[in-house]
Every structure is written in C-alpha cells, then in structure tokens.
Amino acid sequence: MKIDEFKKLHSIIGNCREINDLVETIMHIAPSETSVLIYGETGTGKEVFANAIHGASRRSKQRLISVNCGAIPEGLLESELFGHKRGSFTGASDNRKGYFELADGGTLFLDEIGEMPITTQVKFLRAIELKEFMPVGAETVTKVDVRYIAATNKSLQEEVINKRFRQDLFFRLKAVTLFLPPLRDRREDIGELADFFLEQAALKNNYAKFQLTPEAHGILLDHDWPGNVRELKSVIETAATLSRTSIIGAADLNPIIHPNGYSSASKYSLVPTRKTPEELDREMMLRALFEIKKDILDLKDLVENNHPVKESIRVQEIKRIDELEKEAIINALERTNGNKRSVARLLGLSERTLYRKIKEYDIPL
Ligand SMILES: Nc1ncnc2c1ncn2[C@@H]1O[C@H](COP(=O)(O)OP(=O)(O)OP(=O)(O)O)[C@@H](O)[C@H]1O
Ligand SMILES: [Mg+2]
C-alpha cells in the first residue's frame, strides 16, 4: 500500500516529514505483535495513530479497547483492568470482565499510562509477560492474547528516575516508540488540517463547502495551538457553526482563538476537553466515592487496631485564607484535568473570578 492510501484509509492528515516518517513506521510495524509507546502533547493524534496501528494489524477484526488510566480512580483501576469476581469487594454484585479480557484477540490501548499506580504496574507487567492474569477475588488465572499500545504526554524516563514508573515495564513497553510532534512544529500541515475539518463540518451540518479567507488562513498559521490538532478542530467547527456565510474570515476566528500567551505545553489550555460534562461528573463522583471509601477504611483501621483517638487527631497547621484558596484551585484544576468550567462550578466561583484568582495567585497553567 502507498503511504497516501494508508493515510486516507486511516484519516491521518498531514504531509510534513515527521508525519510521513511516522506513517511509514506504523505501516511497517502494525502487522507485527510488538508493543508501541506513543508520546505526544494533548491533541497531537495519539489516539488516531493507535487506531491506525490496530486497524492495519492482523487483529483488526477484533476489538481495540481504550482505557484512560488517568480517568479511573486508583482504587477501581485494577478491577476495571482485570475484572472481578462476584463478592470480591463491597459493591461487586456480579462477575465482571475487565478490559484485558475484553481485548482478548485484539489490542489494548492504555492511554495516559504514566498515571498508572505502581502497584497496578506490577500486575500489568506480569500480565503482559505471562499472558495471563488473576481477576480481583479470583482463584484461577485467565489467559489472554493481547497486543499493547500505550500513550503518554509525560516523560516516562523522568517518571522512572523519580521512581513513579517501573523501569522493567518502561523497557517492555518501549519496543517501538513514536513521538508525535506538536502542531506548532509542523505549521505546514495547518492548512490541510483546516480544510479537512471544514469539509467534515459542512458534511455534518449539510452546509455548502466553506472557504477560509487569506487573513483567516494567516491567523491559523500564527497561532501557537497549545491544544494542538484538537484545538484546531474545535476552532474550525465553532467558526463553521457560527458563520452565516460559507466564507470564514478573520472576524469569525478572532473571537474564538485565544491569544497566544498560554504556555505551549499547557495542560490547562482553554481547549474544550474531549470529555462530556456527564463523563466528567461521573469521574468526579467515582473519585469522591473512592475518597469516602479510603476514609472509611482508615476509620476501620483506627477502630480495629484500637489506636487511641487522641493520637489520630493531627494538629492542623494554621494557614492564611488566600493560601487555602490557592490550594483549592490547584487541587481542583488537577482533578478536572484543567477544565476551568468544572473548577468554577466545583468551587462555587464564577469563571471570571476563577481566572482573576489564577492570575492573582500566579498559578502555573
Ligand atoms: N493527523 C491527524 N489527522 C486528522 N485528525 C487528527 C490528526 N491528529 C489529531 N486529529 C484529530 O484531533 C483530535 C485529537 O486527536 P487525539 O484524540 O488522537 O489526540 P491525543 O493525542 O490522543 O490527545 P489526548 O492526549 O488529549 O488524549 C481528534 O478529533 C482527532 O481526530
Ligand atoms: Mg488521547
């Protein structure tokens, strides 16, 4: 197959040297069983490439199961990955298959692998090497035949140095490593990507084909795109939806594009996250439940081990109100993956006040 044919088949847009090199690599390694590690900032197309690898593999008739390791609360991750037996913990009212078993015969895509807790990493490595695992609460092993693709926007090497990621797992995963370039480093692809998203927007909404004016094109080329291709796609979709004619000009883009100023590698960019509000709410609820469970276990431990209650009361450090406020904002930003709208809602602030406080406390974004 020719490289252009492959790109078309897997909806990969871009013609810069880096993208063409990457496509050639995946055309070569897709049919093998080797695991692949994909690095790239948010929105650079890690999922697009994972899909293409699976789609071009011998496993393409079977399923590609995607798991976002950063979105599942730590306490639930193992049962989500490996499944559980009925009654193995409170709330486990049925046997449940985990993602490993669901991906049997196919591919397991582990997104945000850098967020996987160390204890789960141990079990994961064992499962890869032995091709078997033990569901939570089970007494026998389950065999699986799975190909692995992992993605991250963190440096796993650094995580290994800081002892947050196991070196043996890192070596096992990085058999083939792909680095997806940020969009600001391949500006020659912006025009083609914009045209592709404009075409999609027209098809989706039954509009006539859109065109960008040269000024609009210039604005797209000048922007730094901290949210990469996802940000570009969202800007184009919004402009196409709001525009009253089939010509998109500077006046259509200027109110939508945020001025460059957000640090380029920002995790908290203003790009809408791909999670729906329902997904975010569910995630938040799961996290809250997990925290409650942890508290209950701590209390149980306290009672069972008969610790004198006195000892357990820690003297709280006195903090200034503004310090507490800053901490609350940083904490909420981390939990919502930088989604400012959710942060504002969670903290009971207006978005405007939130922005002001972020600036006032100099919170790094
Ligand atoms: N080369 C590309 N060609 C066409 N569309 C692309 C390309 N790269 C990314 N996209 C589109 O941009 C959006 C984001 O891509 P994707 O979800 O693959 O990014 P990601 O790297 O997985 O991001 P995150 O780290 O936030 O999960 C998707 O809608 C995807 O279809
Ligand atoms: Mg992704």
111 Cα to the center of ligand 2, angstroms: 6
pLDDT digits (tens, 9 = 90+) for 54-107: 999 999 999 999 999 988 888 788 889 999 888 777 777 788 889 999 999 999
Closest Cα to atom 10, ligand 1: which residue? 45
320 Cα to the center of ligand 2, angstroms: 39
Q: Which amino acid is at 220?
A: L
CB atoms within 10 A of CB 258: 16
Q: How far apart are CA 212 and CA 248, in angstroms?
A: 5
Mean pLDDT in residue range 284-311? 62
CB atoms within 10 A of CB 246: 13
Percent of the chain with pLDDT over 90: 54
Ramachandran angles phi, psi of 55, nearest 5°: -60, -30
Q: How far apart are CA 356 and CA 363, in angstroms?
A: 11
Q: How far apart are CA 232 and CA 45, in angstroms?
A: 12
Which residue among 229, 236, 267, 280 has the greatest number of ligand 1 atoms within 8 angstroms of its CB, and so is best to mutate?
229
| Per-residue tokens: 189 | 């692809």
Which residue among 21, 37, 48 has the greatest number of ligand 1 atoms within 8 angstroms of its CB, and so is best to mutate?
48
12 Cα to the center of ligand 2, angstroms: 15
What DSSP letter does each residue of 209-230 carry, written as one string? PPEE-HHHHHHHHH---TTHHH
Q: Which residues surround ligand 2, an ion (CB under 5 A)?
A: 46-47
230 Cα to the center of ligand 1, angstroms: 6
Bridge partners (DSSP) listed for residue 37 = 150, 177
Ramachandran angles phi, psi of 248, nearest 5°: -105, 120
Strands (E), the chain: 36-39, 64-68, 107-111, 132-133, 142-143, 147-152, 176-179, 211-212, 247-248
Which residue among 19, 230, 231, 233 has the greatest number of ligand 1 atoms within 8 angstroms of its CB, and so is best to mutate?
230
pTM of the entire predicted model: 0.73
Ramachandran angles phi, psi of 103, nearest 5°: -90, 5
Q: What atom in ligand 1 is closest to the CA of residue 229?
A: 12
Which ligand number lies closest to the CA of residue 42?
A: 1
265-296 CB burial, b ≥16 within 10 A, e <16: ebbbbbbebebeeeebeebbeebeeeeebeee
111 Cα to the center of ligand 1, angstroms: 13
242 Cα to the center of ligand 1, angstroms: 23
Looking at residue 314, its pLDDT comes to 42
Q: How far apart are CA 123 and CA 154, in angstroms?
A: 21
Closest Cα to atom 29, ligand 1: which residue? 230
Q: How far apart are CA 283 and CA 137, in angstroms?
A: 24
Looking at residue 299, its pLDDT comes to 76
Report the topology of domain 3-181: Rossmann fold (3.40.50)
Mean pLDDT in residue range 17-22? 97
Closest Cα to atom 25, ligand 1: which residue? 42
Which ligand number lies closest to the CA of residue 48?
A: 1
Looking at residue 11, its pLDDT comes to 96
Percent of the chain with pLDDT over 70: 85
Residue 113's SS3 state is helix
Q: Would you say residue 263 has pLDDT above 50? A: no
45 Cα to the center of ligand 1, angstroms: 3
CATH number assigned to the domain covering 316-365 = 1.10.10.60
| Per-residue tokens: 35 | 């695991």
Looking at residue 260, its pLDDT comes to 56
Q: Would you say residue 53 has pLDDT above 60? A: yes
pLDDT band at 275 (very low <50, low <70, confident <90, very high): low
Dihedral angle sign, alpha carbons of residues 258, 261, 265, 268: negative
All structural domains of the chain with their residue ranges = 3-181, 184-253, 275-312, 316-365
Q: Which residues line ligand 1 (CB under 6 A)?
A: 11-14, 40, 42-48, 111, 153, 229-230, 233
Determine contact, residues 147/108, Cβ cutoff 8 Å: yes
Which ligand number lies closest to the CA of residue 66?
A: 2
| Per-residue tokens: 225 | 């795109």
Q: How far apart are CA 267 and CA 60, in angstroms?
A: 32
141 Cα to the center of ligand 2, angstroms: 31
Lowest mean pLDDT among 108-112, 195-199, 276-280, 355-359: 276-280
| CATH architecture, range 184-253 | Orthogonal Bundle (1.10)
